[in-house]
Structure 1
Amino acid sequence: MRIGLLGTGPWAQRVHAPVLAAHPGIEFAGVWGRRPEAAAELGGRYGVPVHADLDRLLADVDAVSIAVPPTVQADLAVRAAEAGRHLLLDKPVALTVADARRVVEAAEAHRVASVVFFTLRFGGEQLPWIEEQAAVGGWFTGRSDWFGSVFAPDSTSPYAASPWREEKGALWDVGPHALSVLLPVIGDATSVTAVAGPLDTIHLVLRHVGGASSTLGLSLTTPVAGGGTGMELRGESGTVQLPARGEGPIAAFHRALDALATAARTGEPHPCSAAFGLRTVEILAAAERSLATGTTVEV
């Protein structure tokens, strides 16, 4: 599969580009970016063509790996799907339900495969754990904490200069990760209630089909010493916890590329397709409405 990279920022440089260059079943076929000088530097580093014209890149690849802010991802994804190119998307798919739905509709209309890179859904220990707990069932409640320190005073995060993260906060940055793990295990959400915590911190209470409930703690401003992630489930089989992340996103991205290739070859939608990405955006948008109105919102 020939894949072109759309994007030149920290995520593209740290994860997308090195994996596209190293993956044995992928040909890293080109780079396009909104900043031509950054695209030239990144393409030169890996010896791949640099395209100033996005249509030229789309004409030369089978799929695109998109590493741009969610404010612009939807337009690029629709354009790529209309050109018949498979989609490896980042989370969140978009920042509005309407934009996320456009991506899904374009992928379906042009019969292209799509995978959204929720990192834990492609984790070496986390993926089998998620599948196992979903098969066990009988969960009464779940808890998922994502306390990041991107904007903490002593943070050294390369993503602290991200305007969309600063504007939208933890709900839209780490919220998709929490939902990507909870929903396949406990079931789809039926309602959400949101309460503000300190700074950008937000707490969500979800009701799920079948009656289970879950709580999410999300933050990008947690003090570095107090940050961390975790997930716990309680139910008929007892209490279980999500395995700690022992590997970085590089290994997970290799698996996401494999998943896209399989979906493209078989025509079978992946569980983390654009449609699932849309569902997470619907829940996040409902949480935003809940926070603004002080009410529980049906989803």
Structure 2
Amino acid sequence: MRIGLLGTGPWAQMAHAPALGEHEDVDFVGVWGRRADAAKDLAARHDIRAYDDVDALLADVDAVAVALPPAVQAELAVRAARAGCHLLLDKPLATTVEQGRAVVEAAQEAGVASVVFFTTRFQPETEEWITEQAAAQGWFTAHAQWLGSVFSGGDSRFANSPWRREKGALWDVGPHALSVLLPVLGEVRQVAAAAHGPGDTAHLVLDHAGGASSALTLSLTAPSAAAGAAVELRGEAGLTHLPASTQGVVPALMRATDALLAAARTGAPHPCDAAFGLRVTEILTQADALLNGGE
């Protein structure tokens, strides 16, 4: 499969480009970015072509990986799908339901495969744990904490990200928490409560279709010493915690690429496809409305 990369920022440099370049079953052929100079620099490092015209790249490949802000990603994902390209997307899929739905509809109409990269779903230890807990019965409650220090003085390449500054932890790390909780506890019937914490911290309470409830704490402004992710489940099976992963982001993204290849080959949708990404966007939109005084 010939694949191109849309985006040249820190995430493209540290995750997407290395993963695509190292993957034996894809041909990483080119990159397009909103800054031509950055595209040329990234292309030179990976011995690929820098494209000035995004449509020219779409015409030359079978698939695209997208490492761009969600609003830009959604627009270009629709364009790529209509050009017949399979989609390796990032979370969140979009920051409005309308944008997310447009991606899903474009992919369905074009008959292309899609995978949204929720990191925890593509790391072996956490993927296995999620599968095991989803098969269990009788979960009563869950607590999820996804705490980053991006905006609290830590050394982060993402501290100046405009969309993260605007949308905060709810939209940046909220998708990670939901990607774990939804397959285990089932559909979210209602965002029962949402409240602000320090900085951009958001606290959510979710009511799940399986009867369980979950509480989420999400932040990009936690102290560096307090940063980290944790999920605790309690129910008839007792108590269990999300395990730590020993693999970094590049191997996880290579596994997501494997998933896209399989979906494209078989036609069977992956559990983390664009439709799942849309559902995450719908839940986050409801939570965002509560946090900002809406219904």
> Normalised by the size of structure 1, how large is the TM-score?
0.97
Contact 2:169 2:220 in 1 (8 A): yes
Q: What's the secondary structure of 1:125's corresponding residue?
A: helix
Where does residue 132 of structure 1 map in the other structure?
A: 132
2:216 corresponds to 1:216? yes
Q: CA deviation at 1:239?
A: 0.5
Q: After the TM superposition, which residues 71-220 of structure 1 pair with which residues of structure 2 at under 5 Å, given as runs? A: 71-153=71-153, 155-192=154-191, 193-220=193-220
| Corresponding residue of 1:277 | 277
User: Map of 1:13-52 to 2, 5 A cutoff?
Assistant: 13-52=13-52
Q: Cα distance, 1:263 vs. partner?
A: 0.1
What's the CA shift string for 1:29-81, capped at 9, x where partnerless?
Answer: 11111100000110111111111011111111000000001121111000000
Amino acid at match of 1:165: R
* 2:170 aligned counterpart, secondary structure: helix
For 2:87, give the aligned amino acid.
L
Give the distance between the partners of 1:219 and 1:46, measured in 2 at CA.
34
Offset from partner CA, 1:116-139 (integer Å, 9 cap, x none): 000000011000110011011211
**Matched positions, count:** 294
Structure 2 gaps of 5+ residues are none
Measure, in 2, the Cα distance between the counterparts of 1:101 and 1:165: 22
1:132 aligned partner, one-letter code: E
Describe the SS at the equivalent of 1:95: coil
1:293 Cα deviation from its structure 2 partner: 2.4
State the secondary structure of the residue aligned to 2:84. Answer: coil
How far apart in 1 are the matches of 2:142 and 2:6? 36
Counterpart residue type for residue 20 of structure 2:
L
Please tell me the residue identity of whatever aligns with 2:33: G
The SS at the match of 2:124 is coil
Identity fraction in percent: 62
How far apart, CA to CA, are the structure 2 residues paired with 1:210 and 1:117?
Answer: 25
Q: Distance in 2 between matches of 1:45 and 1:120?
A: 28
1:91 Cα offset (Å): 0.3
Distance 2:41 2:291 in 1: 42
CA distance, structure 2, for counterparts of residue 196 and residue 44 of structure 1: 44
- Whole-angstrom CA distance in 1 between matches of 2:189 and 2:116: 22
8 A Cα contact 1:144 1:216, kept in partner: yes
Q: Tell me, yes or no, if the aligned pair for 2:71 and 2:99 is still in contact at 8 Å.
A: no
RMSD of the TM alignment (CA)? 0.9
Alpha-carbon distance in structure 2 between the residues aligned to 1:98 and 1:189: 19
Query: 2-side partners of 1:258 and 1:247: how far apart?
Result: 16
- Tell me which residue corresponds to 2:252: 252
> 1:85 Cα shift?
0.4
Task: Provide Cα deviations, 1:217-259, integer angstroms capped at 9, x if missing partner.
Answer: 0000001011111001001100000001322111100100000
Shift in Å, 1:201 = 0.3
Alignment of 1:61-72 (within 5 A): 61-72=61-72
What is the SS of the residue equivalent to 1:271? coil
3-state secondary structure, aligned to 1:169: helix
Offset from partner CA, 1:9-32 (integer Å, 9 cap, x none)? 000000000111111111101111
Q: Distance in 2 between matches of 1:245 and 1:171?
A: 23
d(CA) in 1 for partners of 2:40, 2:245: 34
TM-score (norm 2): 0.98
Structure 1 segments, 4+ long, off by >4 Å, are: none
Letter in 1 for 2:279: R
In the alignment, structure 1 segments of 5+ residues that lack a partner are none
Matched, 1:233 2:233: yes
1:7 is displaced (CA, Å) by 0.3
Amino acid at match of 2:73: Q
Q: Structure 1, residues 68-120: CA drift from partner, whole Å, max 9, x if none?
A: 01121111000000001000000001110100000000000101000000000
Matched residues in 2 for 1:71 and 1:55: separation?
18
Quick one: distance in 2 between partners of 1:210 and 1:183? 10
Equivalent residues of 1:4, 1:28 under 8 A apart: yes
| SS of residue matched to 1:42 | helix
